[in-house]
Amino acid sequence: MGYWPWYSRLEPEHRYCYLEWLASGKQSLPRYEGFLFLYYYGLERRRLVDEADRDWVLREVLRLRKLDAPRCGTRDGASFRRYTSALLWFEVAVAPELTSETSFSAVCSLTDQWTESTLTPALAWVARHGKPLPADLAIRVAHANPESVQSVIRKRLPDEFDALFAKRYAEKFDAGLQLRVSKRPRQHAYRPASGGLSEVSCTVADPMGIPSQFKPLAEIWNSCVNDLRKLSKVGAAAHSDELTVEVWESMPPELRQGVDHPLAADVHSMVLEGSKGGGECIVPASRLVSLLQLEKRAKLTPTQSRRLAETVEHTGYSIEPDARTTGRTYGWNEPVAVFLRTEETPVDPGRFIAAACILQLGLAIAEADGEIDENELRQLTEGVESSFQLPDHERRRLEALRAVLIKSGADIGPIARKIEHALSPPARQSVGRLLVAIAAADGSIDRSEEAALRKCYRALGLGPEVLEQTISELAPLADDAMVTVQAGFAPAARGEAIPAPTPARLQLNREAISAIMAETREVARLLADAMKVDEEPRDEMEAAFEPAAEESAVATLVEPTSGPAGRYAQFYQAIIDRDRWTRADVDALARSHGLMLSGALEAVNDWAFEMFGRPLIDEVGDEFTVDRTLL
């Protein structure tokens, strides 16, 4: 039935099953998740559009959540639980005076993940009713506070940690912290599961707008971490204060669980400092490399890049881009985002890289007019998240990657080349249609966006006529288009200029956009298959100890016909004979083949990008390095 089911598009046998479930009284979850969402769409419309039957709709949502209870803790029904929790919190935000303490506690108990979007209405309700902040909410606020140390202590000793926190919280605030609210209210939004409904929002009182009142919670949290360290240690010699990064990372996972990583405090301090002004903590990769005390170099090796990402993860944080997912190496000054790791669920490399590709292409379109506003960013991000059905931890990664791309700029060349190389023309056209739909999410495409789309289509190997045809499919029929009647101008004073007419914006068909977005599951699958990371390069030490006979056998695989074709083939075969070249030597090599050095290097690296996703030749000062591990 697709991710967004339409009743009018169901097969007759599916309609029969759906109606039979409705007629049976809905005493159990339906056979297909699509049926559950069809019914939930109706609940959303009744409450948000018709603005009727509030109490019944909320009771029905709670009843469905009880039926869903056996699936909690699994991936089944995760989207349904996320949307229903968000709707319940939106109701708390819209009408806190109508939400009883019992109902508030019920919504809290149904919330699987506590984030800023769930804490905002919860704290607003507590403040609205003049109640002290309960200990179970206080510990969630403390956990989300950037000043709180992220430690394995709470995972290892959850009961002891929570009990100690509650005791010290009561000692500090007696009945509980009495919340103050900011003078400026906060906007709280709910994005319906139904693709046919628009986002709704309301304003709520904002205790989080006064972050200073929550500082004592972070202090209590950190004191609990410090005082439970001894209890959490297993007593091995490696757990002493002199524990090094190398010793910790060589320990078995069972022993690691009892001890914080030696760099956890350093990374925490760096993230705290980097996010002082709000937003993501973005630092050059060299800042993290210095913690590992690695030698400075223009670009890290593949092994060093993977180790860097693993070390950041061991400290309780995540890094984006993640070299283990992308297969790329980090440049010394390359900006990276470091953010709190809230889940241990692994990333699906194909799905996430495919989503990242569309995000990067979409950002290039959004940057077309010279700036990106928050509305464009939100629409782009939501479009990518919906198209690829990203789980929460991958959506968090995508937000971090977005911040890096905004800072460094979106380079669509390598991505477009890989897509062009990996996908057939019809599949690439589907990618192009998705980009048009995302660009048109606000109901129109302006001239700068259309120019950026042309650039993306050109990079994907699609002609301008394909773009024009796609846009024409989304445009309304001439007979249905809205006609604007403009009043005539009154006589103007002599010499007064006539105002220029406002440039027309192409109004688009929302149903056609929705249909394209509903088709993107296949696009996502094709992209995910195409973006799977190639086999990891061999470790440098392993390659150094391979026998000469094997090295010879590997060398025979590089045949004269491999590499870029045409006039650059002989230059390629010559340059891969050595690992390092001086500028003078490589310039002489290019001239001996009748080539300009810059053009020859660009041709070889373009070929390498298509084959491996990264360059073959790196320039460091006056020296050129050939990454022969790719071959």
CA 330/CA 219 separation, integer angstroms: 35
C-alpha dihedral (348, 351, 357, 361), degrees to nearest 10: -140
Q: What is the structure's pLDDT at 255?
A: 56
Q: Please list the residue range(s) of the chain that carry CATH number 1.10.3680.10.
A: 349-477+507-530
Strand partners, 200: 190
Q: What is the structure's pLDDT at 321?
A: 93
Instruction: Write out the E strands in 100-197.
Output: 132-133, 177-178, 186-190
CA 350/CA 523 separation, integer angstroms: 12
The parts of the chain modelled with pLDDT lower than 70 are 1-3, 230-242, 250-258, 277-278, 368-371, 373, 410, 441-443, 474-524, 528, 530-562, 609-610, 613, 620-621
Pairing of strands 623-626, 580-582: antiparallel
- 198-241 residue pLDDT tens: 899 999 999 999 999 999 999 999 999 888 876 665 433 334 45
Q: What is the structure's pLDDT at 1?
A: 66
Question: Could you tell me the maximum CA-CA distance found in the chain, to the nearest angstrom?
Answer: 92
**C-alpha dihedral sign at 169, 172, 176, 182:** negative
CA 631/CA 628 separation, integer angstroms: 5
Number of Cβ atoms within 10 Å of the Cβ of 445: 22
Domain 547-630 falls in which CATH fold?
A: Arc Repressor Mutant, subunit A (1.10.10)
User: Per-residue b/e over 237-250, b at no fewer than 16 CB within 10 Å?
Assistant: eebeeebebeebee
Residue 136 in tokens: 């179970």
Closest Cα partner for 224 from 116, 131, 149, 122?
149
Residue 554 in tokens: 């590997």
Q: What is the structure's pLDDT at 343?
A: 80
Residue 487 in tokens: 């009043």
CA 359/CA 379 separation, integer angstroms: 11
Q: What is the structure's pLDDT at 536?
A: 40
Number of Cβ atoms within 10 Å of the Cβ of 553: 11
In contact, 355 and 384? CB cutoff 8 Å: yes
Residue 274 in tokens: 């980097």
Q: What is the structure's pLDDT at 542?
A: 35
**What are the two backbone dihedrals, phi and then psi, of residue 613, each rounded to the nearest 5 degrees?**
85, 10
CA 234/CA 404 separation, integer angstroms: 39
Q: Please list the residue range(s) of the chain that carry CATH number 1.10.10.
A: 547-630
Determine the Cα angle at 207 with ends 205 and 211, to 5°: 150
Q: What is the CATH number of domain 349-477+507-530?
A: 1.10.3680.10
